[in-house]
Structure 1
Amino acid sequence: MKSIRKRPPIPHKFMRRTPLNWLRILLIWLVSLTAVFIVSSFVPSLSNASINMLFRLRGELPAPDDIVIVAIDDASLQKIGKYPWARSVIADGLDKITEGKPKAIGIDVIYAEESDAEDDEKLAQSIRKNGRVVLPTQLFENANETGQTEIVWLAPLPEIDAALAGKGHAHAAPDVDGTLRSVQLSKSDDKGNRFWAFGLEILRVAGNIAPNDFEEKPNILRFGSHNIRLLTEETEESKIEGVSLIRSDEMLVNYIGATKSFRYYSFADVFNGNVSPENFKGKIVLVGATSPTLGDAQVTPFMHYAGSDDEREGGQAMPGVEVHANVINTIKNNLSLRFLPEFWDYAIALLIILTATVAVKWLEGWRQVAVLAL
């Protein structure tokens, strides 16, 4: 019986090694490479989007049990009343937290303006009694004696300021796409007065780190026993035409997850005695606004991430107080990140292009389009 030899399959026309096909591959590669350089030059948010994607691919990290948030939330506004509250209310809540002997308390309110004198004094006494309270400060424009505008620090009232264990700046500088990915660990005013970031100052107080126990190196800040990776200094345009600002001491925040990743206690529950002070023992406690009506929130890389908790699905902006919690956790647990050198960005992009170009030789039809789209 005569054997029948199978005819070898005819390769797809794109797979035939003809000069024309190799020319097509070369053109695809060159066009893709050119696109990478053009887009990376004019759209800085391209790498920012990659950071968002990497955070979401990594997923959520376990929440630390030694950093908790006492939230001025919607429930507190309903039970206690319209905000801002009398400072005696904050003082009473602070006294309840103090009973638990926390390592440090950060209250995310400046208290720069006078209110009722007795209330101001009561809050100062509660802060003094605790001995480990940190408040934020903020830069603002002020006209000096000669009428010139200068940038100076907005400080708490003198009696409250004198009772504090420390102050830290609470400035946030989102990227061009509106997402907050990093914080400046220190800022100075026009007079050279320098403050650490609010979260870093809280950690300093919690860890009993001396104010002068730090060392600044290229891309590294040693702060007590913590070695913090810093980003390369960047120049950005200021609001004044022709003037550039240097952004230094910049740290990428390693967010553990979406909004409400940390343990929350409602301020009203603490104030009314429904939360045992033991919950704050040996912990860092952050007190701040979380109600959307109070407007203190930031977009983060996890903004549209659907986490394991149904409350966080759909994406919520993160309250500033939880951003500070993420800053503290990043430094405390040595989770600081840094960008790969720019060379690696291009190398990875080239690898993707080469992979797609080679793969498309063995695919046809819609599969080619799919690979190129990826």
Structure 2
Amino acid sequence: MPLPTDPQPRTTRTLLFVAGALTLLLGIAYLLQPRLIAATNNRATDLVLNLSKPRPSTGAVVIVDIDDQSLARYGRWPWPRDRMARLLEAIASSGAAAVGLDLILAEPEPRAASPRALPGMPAPAGEGAGSSASATADPDGTLAATLGMGPFVLGYQFLFQNTPQPNSGCQLHPRGVVWIDRSEPAAVKPEFFAAQGVVCNQAPFADAVKRSGFLNAGADEDGVLRRVPLLIGYRGNLYPSLSLALLMQYLHSEQIEVLERDMGRLDLLVGGRSIPIDLRGNLPVRFLEPGTAAARLSAADLLERSPARAELAGKVVIVGCSAAGLDTQHHTSAGVLTSHAEVHAQVLDNLLSGRPVTRPDSYLLWELLAGVLAAAATTWAVLRLGVVSGAAAGAAGIAGCWLAAVLLFQQRAALFSPLLPTLQVFGNYLVLTLIKTRQGQQVAHQAASSTLILLKSSEKNLNSIINSVPDIIFRLDAAGRVIFLSPAITRYTSDPTTLLGKPILDLVPPEELPLANHRLNEKRTGSRATRDLELHLLLPHGDGGTWAPVGPFSISAEGIYRGDVPSPDEFLGTQGIIRDIAEQKMLEEKLLQAQKMEAIGRLAAGIAHDLNNILVGLVAYPDLLLLELPPESPLRDKLSLIQRSGQKAAAIVQDLLTLGRRGTPAQEVVSLNLLITEYLGTLEFAACLREHPHITLESDLAEDLACVRGSRLHLAKALMNMVNNAFEAMPAGGEVRVSTCNRSLERSYRGYEEVPAGDWVCVSVRDEGVGVAERDLHRIFEPFSARRR
């Protein structure tokens, strides 16, 4: 239900005050740019860059790469000076407009590392013995001469350490920097990076060229490279980066003009091109996927073939090294690793495109204004619209801010961050909606308090009636979740509160779900409602709160409707009664079992009566014949076998009579220890051991075991059956343990039957077999039931 669209004046004033305070706090925090906000702002601008449509490359930049293939062909790095001279000469002869070295020639000639110094290694193509001999006379001079004849720009590295590291012998080629419109004091003083040391090239090489530039490119605190410095101060002069020096060489410009704009923005004017930078001399760069801003040629390919005029003529060439272990990789805002030479190539591509990325510090003020407008619009939406409508309007506002930032960048290369408007919309909507909801709840609470007083009296009367009912009364909401249970539920679960809010079908065992589906969450009434549905319920009980089936229960339920006539729009839920029928089911099962046993007993008694008549001759006549035969007669053994068979058959008949309750087994005092010992010495047990050679039997008989009264024959049969069953349950072998002990029960024990309190003798036969299936446990004491496990 939506909130009221016309809030009270007091609520309106509260919301306006909170909105103004929150907007002010967020705006101040955004202008101060603490570490968290600055990092989040950087990620927001990264997302704007990545959402923008990539612009096509200028195609004016080429990377000559000293890659793994080049090192495999020409030996490890650093290369000899003459080979570097040949590579640079090949690039210059191809008509390149500007050539930058993304490496520093700061070390002497690496003679020991030259392939000519490695015995057994063949000379690369084009480097025969004659050429090597001529080049080794003055390798530094050869390379310096090559550098002096081409449009080369050397790279060097500034150092920023606490202790200055002067290097007075470095030739860094500072460019002429002219400040424009500095007649009045600047509103904001530029704060260019100030280096304290430098790693530069050898003097012959630095003297041979007219231009050089620094290679420094530092990442932000999160390790992502988003902007690069174009100017760095050192010993009172400003020096260009390698990218800026290459642009000056490409445009044949000798001077850098710095134009101060309003609110601290700086523009570099080079060869008629305007390059926006911030007060520290940084240029934001739009990084693309590696390989999209510059073509790439392998140095090995360039050394082995004729000059690549078609690929290099009129281009800006960057010579870099991407071989494994020699290159520095940078994480860029494009989300990929980019090599050092690729960074300079992409910076150059941004500069040559004529539309470098613009993000001066003044943009923070414009973003602050956009945040204030977004906060005002959000406040109006919360005051005038409902929760859902206000959320939709806020989401549309956030999407509009991001879309505007993307379009501005694509059209004007102006990089705005939509972070603050997003925070203002989200924060104001969340806080104001919570306050508005709280105010509405307070009004509703006051209105409901009077109604609650009237309900208390009727609730007390109703509770007294419900508490006296032994059956469980339940109620479900329209979705079938439990919303009420009478106190009778406490007889079956230790934590009834866990059932509230759960769907009723979650309390039904999976095997009974087809029966319960659409019947527990009943919508029908009258004669068509659910009556006497028999189910078990999954309820938590015990200290651990284990969920286990309880029951069975008989459930009756019917639908509840707001009006008198059932209608889908008027349906409120379901109510019903759960009755415990476990005792009733047990009595029914006992009655059914008794009836079955009575029928089996009558059948067994009839069979036993007929067998008795047949066995009279089989048992009696062998005795008479044995009396008449001499001891040495060969027929005595055969008659004795017939006599024993008859006796066994008579014992079976006696069992049948006992089952039919027409025979009384002989009751005598029996020592179970003696009975077990005798059985373990019988031929039947010995035969059982021979059939199962991998099974052993251990006995643990109590010395003070009491005697019992019972049928010796039946006890012996029961013991034999249990041992044989244990042997058959272990086809892979194992151990069977027979043990006896005395037990005294202080109270009755509920097992297969009710065992009363008193003194008892226990016999245990334990095996390591597969066990009895759970579905057969209740039948193990039934006559004629299969007892195999």
Q: Bin the TM-score by the shorter chain.
A: 0.7 to 0.9
Q: Decide which of 18, 24, 30 is 2:7's aligned counterpart.
A: 18
Report the CA distance between 1:359 and its aligned residue.
5.5
Say if 2:80 is the partner of 1:57. no
Residue identity matched to 1:299: H
Q: Distance in 2 between matches of 1:357 and 1:229?
A: 37
Instruction: Specify the alignment match of 1:327 in structure 2.
Output: 347
Instruction: Specify the alignment match of 2:366 in structure 1.
Output: 344
Say if 2:199 is the partner of 1:154. yes
Cα–Cα, structure 1 residues 299 and 144, in superposed 2: closer, same or farther, change >3 Å?
closer
Deviation digits for residues 111-140 of structure 1 (CA, Å, limit 9, x no counterpart): 0111247443332232223x2110112223
Q: Distance in 2 between matches of 1:354 and 1:293?
A: 55
Say if 2:234 is the partner of 1:203. no
Deviation digits for residues 149-188 of structure 1 (CA, Å, limit 9, x no counterpart): x924333112211221311112223223222222322223
Instruction: Specify the alignment match of 1:142 in structure 2.
Output: 165
Q: Decide which of 248, 272, 276 is 1:225's aligned counterpart.
A: 272
Which SS does the other structure have where 2:268 is aligned?
strand
Q: Decide which of 228, 243, 250 is 1:183's aligned counterpart.
A: 228
Q: Is the 8 A contact 1:96 1:277 kept in 2?
A: no
Instruction: Specify the alignment match of 1:258 in structure 2.
Output: 289
Instruction: Specify the alignment match of 2:724 in structure 1.
Output: none
Deviation digits for residues 241-295 of structure 1 (CA, Å, limit 9, x no counterpart): xxxxxx3x3322243x122222112222222228833210011111112346324
Q: Distance in 2 between matches of 1:73 and 1:15?
A: 70
Q: Distance in 2 between matches of 1:294 and 1:179?
A: 20
Q: Decide which of 278, 298, 311 is 2:330's aligned counterpart.
A: 298
Report the CA distance between 1:94 and its aligned residue.
1.7
Instruction: Specify the alignment match of 1:243 in structure 2.
Output: none
Unpaired runs of 5+ residues, structure 2, are 112-135, 169-194, 261-265, 396-424, 428-789
Q: Decide which of 206, 215, 224 is 2:257's aligned counterpart.
A: 215
Say if 2:300 is the partner of 1:268. yes
Residue identity matched to 2:257: E
Q: Distance in 1 between matches of 2:30 and 2:238?
A: 37
Report the CA distance between 1:205 and its aligned residue.
1.4
Q: Is the 8 A contact 1:98 1:277 kept in 2?
A: no
Deviation digits for residues 31-84 of structure 1 (CA, Å, limit 9, x no counterpart): 466345436532322322222122112132211111111122343344444333
Which SS does the other structure have where 1:299 is aligned?
strand
Q: Distance in 1 between matches of 2:238 and 2:156?
A: 11
Instruction: Specify the alignment match of 1:46 in structure 2.
Output: 40
Cα–Cα, structure 1 residues 119 and 356, in superposed 2: closer, same or farther, change >3 Å?
farther
Cα–Cα, structure 1 residues 69 and 367, in superposed 2: closer, same or farther, change >3 Å?
same
Report the CA distance between 1:357 and its aligned residue.
5.1
Instruction: Specify the alignment match of 1:127 in structure 2.
Output: 147
Which SS does the other structure have where 2:224 is aligned?
coil
Which SS does the other structure have where 1:142 is aligned?
coil
Residue identity matched to 2:232: K
Which SS does the other structure have where 1:173 is aligned?
coil
Instruction: Specify the alignment match of 2:388 in structure 1.
Output: 364
Out of 320-329 and 107-116, give the one that drifted further.
320-329
Q: Distance in 2 between matches of 1:364 and 1:21?
A: 19
Instruction: Specify the alignment match of 1:171 in structure 2.
Output: 216
Q: Is the 8 A contact 1:40 1:46 kept in 2?
A: no
Residue identity matched to 1:135: L
Q: Distance in 2 between matches of 1:80 and 1:364?
A: 69
Instruction: Specify the alignment match of 2:511 in structure 1.
Output: none
Q: Is the 8 A contact 1:15 1:21 kept in 2?
A: no
Q: Distance in 2 between matches of 1:157 and 1:45?
A: 40
> Higher relative contact order at CA 8 Å, sep ≥6: structure 1 or structure 2?
1
Q: Distance in 2 between matches of 1:88 and 1:169?
A: 24
Q: Distance in 1 between matches of 2:232 and 2:3?
A: 59
Q: Distance in 2 between matches of 1:80 and 1:250?
A: 38
**TM-score normalised per structure 1:** 0.75
Instruction: Specify the alignment match of 1:96 in structure 2.
Output: 90
Cα–Cα, structure 1 residues 31 and 226, in superposed 2: closer, same or farther, change >3 Å?
same
Within a 5 Å distance, the mapping from 1:103-118 to structure 2 comes to 103-115=97-109, 116=111, 118=138
Out of 51-60 and 286-295, give the one that drifted further.
286-295
Report the CA distance between 1:106 and its aligned residue.
0.4
Cα–Cα, structure 1 residues 23 and 267, in superposed 2: closer, same or farther, change >3 Å?
farther
**TM-score normalised per structure 2:** 0.38
Q: Distance in 1 between matches of 2:391 and 2:327?
A: 47
Which SS does the other structure have where 2:57 is aligned?
coil
CA RMSD, Structure 1 to Structure 2 (Å): 3.2
Q: Distance in 1 between matches of 2:53 and 2:67?
A: 26
Q: State, as a whole percentage, how many aligned pairs show the same letter.
A: 23
